[in-house]
Amino acid sequence: MNIPSKIFKSYDIRGIYPQEINEQFAVPITRSIYKLISEQLDTTKALTIAVGRDMRLSSPAIFAAVSKTLVELGAKVIDLGIVSTPTLYYAVFKNRYDGGIQITASHNPGEYNGIKIVRISPTGLVKIGQSTGMNDIRDGSINGVDLSATNNGSIKTKEGVVKDEVQNALGIAGNPKIQEFKIVADAANAVGGLYIEELFKHIPGELIRMNFELDGTFPAHQADPLQPENLRDLQKKVLEEKADLGLAPDGDGDRLFFIDEKGQIIQPSLITSLVAKELLSERKGETILFDIRYILTPKKIVEEYGGKCEITKVGHAFITEKMHETGAIFAGESSAHYFFRDTGNAESQLPMILFVLKVMSREGKPLSEIIEGLKRSHESGETNFRVKNALEIIDALKEKYSDADINTLDGIAVSYKDWRFSVRTSNTEPLLRLNIEHVGKEDLENKKQELLAEIKKHAVFEDLPK
């Protein structure tokens, strides 16, 4: 059995079905996962593992293989059915299961599938990634692990998890009084629609559904809201319906983009700032985290409302890890992952929707106006370069901007008084990523052109930048 090592990523396991990941490969992978969780929990007892899956065509076969293997190893399997990744996280955290396995390839196209893994800890959830055991899972999957089958396990179906998740989210948001808004949601035929559907059974308002039918072939568009072309239909629908808000979850529901009433995409750092302000208004002194790409606006908001902030590496597993370390109440990532201490330091998009609706209800203003009042800087958006000499480019930029404050937490982040930029290599693709922010909008464009010219001067391209 030749399991390709490249499917073991920084945050999860992911590959093309059936060449790179399939039900046969799932057996040794599951055995390796079981051994790792047992060792990390320092226990010889039978584990209780929640297993969920998305709507991909290959997910039922992989789910069956994972569940059968766990039962053979003596595990108590909690079958959550078709759920979002945040729903799996919530179930593991709330019920204190030993671990959780979600079968999903997130926002990737339909030919992909994968596995996300978490385990419980005293302070919440630990995501299994590169720094928390993924390499051990890779080695055990490829080389085999020493585990005896007992066939003493069991499978139990658990109903109603999404309903419980909604009630928990309402509590996190302070059980707010929500006005009746018109909201358009594009679920991209994926599982994020499940928690949005349930939420609107518990709050007022009109929900206009786009692509809510589960379909692992993604007939409408790829379930990746980070790509602007996948948001265009939603933006158009918000304007056509004269809606107050648009929602766009990704393929496994752990990312969520917001569209304002003008059909504009709201930058995730501004949504982070909105929620940080709400939390700190009632709980001053708490710590808020955000990743190194865009920090000027959220940092100023946190400081203005009496909070503390820390900067993290890019990547949801790294951010969850940092939340454990700092005890942060909330974290926001520039790719629209949002994390709460009250959900085990893992993503939960339901409280995000509720906080936005809470502020809109209280202030009686359109979302675009609320967001404009939070803005303390302007962002370039990410520019990606497919280059052969990423580290040489980073070194050249360090020398060029050596008079700045330079942070090497994740690539380099170069900061001046009124502007900053970050350049880092991707964790998932062979790309160099550039992000710039400036307090002045016109100055931002000037700095962008300056940096593009500097990178191109040193770059050896594999192909044109995209």
pLDDT at 69 > cutoff 70:
yes
- Residue 12 lies inside a defined structural domain of this protein: yes
Of 197, 29, 225, the closest CA to residue 113 belongs to 29
| Structure confidence at residue 215 (pLDDT) | 98
Tokens coding 308: 């503390």
Q: Which residues contact 353 (CB under 8 A, 6 or more apart)?
A: 196, 199, 247, 256
What value does the mean pLDDT take over residues 105-113? 97
Cα dihedral 85, 87, 88, 93 sign: positive
Burial environment of residue 457 by CB neighbours within 10 A (0 to 12, 13 to 18, 19 or more) = exposed
Last residue of a domain, one of 316, 341, 374: 374
- Residue 172 lies inside a defined structural domain of this protein: no
What value does the mean pLDDT take over residues 292-320? 95
Read off the pLDDT of residues 158-193 as tens digits, 9 standing for 90 and up: 999 999 999 999 999 999 999 999 999 999 999 999
Q: Are residues 250 and 278 in the same domain?
A: no
- Residue 303 lies inside a defined structural domain of this protein: yes
Q: pLDDT averaged over the chain?
A: 96
What value does the mean pLDDT take over residues 216-244? 97
Q: Are residues 201 and 252 in the same domain?
A: yes
| The one-letter amino acid at 204 | P
Q: Are residues 104 and 242 in the same domain?
A: no
Q: Are residues 332 and 363 in the same domain?
A: yes
- Residue 464 lies inside a defined structural domain of this protein: no
- Residue 166 lies inside a defined structural domain of this protein: no
What residues are paired with 257 via a beta bridge?
248
Q: Are residues 339 and 352 in the same domain?
A: yes
192, 215 Cβ separation under 8 angstroms:
no
Q: Are residues 10 and 143 in the same domain?
A: yes
| Structure confidence at residue 210 (pLDDT) | 98
What value does the mean pLDDT take over residues 426-432? 76
pLDDT at 466 > cutoff 80:
no
Percent of the chain scoring above 90 in pLDDT: 94
pLDDT at 54 > cutoff 50:
yes
CATH of the domain at 416: 3.30.310.50
| Structure confidence at residue 68 (pLDDT) | 98
Q: Which residues contact 410 (CB under 8 A, 6 or more apart)?
A: 291, 292, 313, 314, 422, 424
Q: Are residues 9 and 144 in the same domain?
A: yes
Q: Are residues 209 and 240 in the same domain?
A: yes
What is the count of structural domains for the chain? 4
- Residue 273 lies inside a defined structural domain of this protein: yes
Last residue of a domain, one of 339, 374, 409: 374
| Structure confidence at residue 151 (pLDDT) | 86
Q: Are residues 442 and 348 in the same domain?
A: no
Global pTM value: 0.95
**Residue 308 belongs to what domain range?**
268-374
Last residue of a domain, one of 200, 230, 259: 259
User: Residue 236 — φ and ψ, nearest 5°?
Assistant: -65, -40
Q: How confident is the model at residue 25 (pLDDT cuts 50, 70, 90)?
A: very high
d(CA 166, CA 158): 16
- Residue 175 lies inside a defined structural domain of this protein: no
Q: How confident is the model at residue 463 (pLDDT cuts 50, 70, 90)?
A: low
pLDDT at 431 > cutoff 90:
no
**What three-state secondary structure class fits 127?**
strand
| Structure confidence at residue 428 (pLDDT) | 63
- Residue 171 lies inside a defined structural domain of this protein: no
d(CA 431, CA 448): 18
Q: Are residues 22 and 155 in the same domain?
A: yes
d(CA 126, CA 325): 11
- 67 flagged as catalytic: no
Of 13, 93, 109, 97, the closest CA to residue 323 belongs to 93
pLDDT at 464 > cutoff 60:
no
Phi-psi map region of 55: left, alpha, beta (phi>0 left; psi -120 to 50 alpha): alpha
| Structure confidence at residue 7 (pLDDT) | 97
Q: How confident is the model at residue 465 (pLDDT cuts 50, 70, 90)?
A: very low
Q: Are residues 382 and 363 in the same domain?
A: no
Catalytic residue from among 59, 67, 106, 141: 106
Q: How confident is the model at residue 265 (pLDDT cuts 50, 70, 90)?
A: very high
Q: Are residues 386 and 370 in the same domain?
A: no
pLDDT at 286 > cutoff 70:
yes
d(CA 89, CA 186): 22
**What three-state secondary structure class fits 437?**
strand
CATH of the domain at 219: 3.40.120.10
**What three-state secondary structure class fits 152?**
coil
Continuous segment of H or E residues that includes residue 82: strand 76-82
